[in-house]
């Protein structure tokens, strides 16, 4: 499984995004591996479409892409606190790490800090140049 960071999904969904072509290429290269994202990541991705009245369209695109939600487990608050304290990443990035740790997955991101933290924790990181 590949856990997707919000930046990759946002760029994929927005043809005007500076990283759109890069996101499309990354997703094409990862096919047919299963894709997943934390509920927090998915919410982050859907904020702009919700503001612009395109929520249904964006959600349908995520479903077509096959992005499966990776549930937060009962101990998520504790694990997220430890990740945040240990990495100094923003909480949404910690959600990406937690989803990858929960599923023993690779991470697709364009974010240098998240990529570094993920690699340091033993995850394969896709999307870095």
pLDDT, the chain, mean: 96
Residue 128: per-residue pLDDT: 80
The pLDDT tens digits for 80-103 are 999 999 999 999 999 999 999 999
Measuring CA to CA, which residue among 59, 64, 1 is closest to residue 30? Answer: 1
**Residue 126 structure tokens:** 């896709």
With residue 80 as reference, give the H or E element that holds it: helix 76-87
> Does the structure show a pLDDT above 80 at 129?
no
Contact predicate 62/9, CB 8 Å: yes
Q: What is the CATH number of domain 2-126?
A: 3.40.50.1010
Q: How confident is the model at residue 31 (pLDDT cuts 50, 70, 90)?
A: confident
Tokens 């695109």 correspond to: 61
93 or 129, higher pLDDT: 93
Is residue 78 packed enough to be buried (19+ CB in 10 Å), middle (13-18) or exposed (0-12)? Answer: exposed
């Amino acid at each position: 499984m590949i856990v997707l960071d919000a930046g990759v999904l946002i760029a994929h969904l927005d043809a005007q995004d500076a990283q759109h072509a890069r996101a499309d290429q990354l997703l094409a290269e990862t096919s047919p591996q299963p894709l997943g994202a934390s509920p927090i990541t998915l919410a982050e991705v859907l904020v702009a479409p919700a503001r612009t009245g395109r929520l249904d369209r964006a959600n349908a695109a995520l479903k077509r892409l096959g992005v499966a939600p990776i549930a937060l487990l009962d101990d998520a608050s504790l694990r997220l606190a430890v990740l945040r304290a240990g990495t100094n990443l923003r909480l949404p990035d910690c959600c990406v790490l937690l989803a990858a740790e929960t599923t023993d997955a690779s991470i697709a991101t364009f974010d240098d800090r998240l990529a570094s933290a993920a690699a340091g924790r033993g995850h394969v990181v896709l999307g870095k140049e």
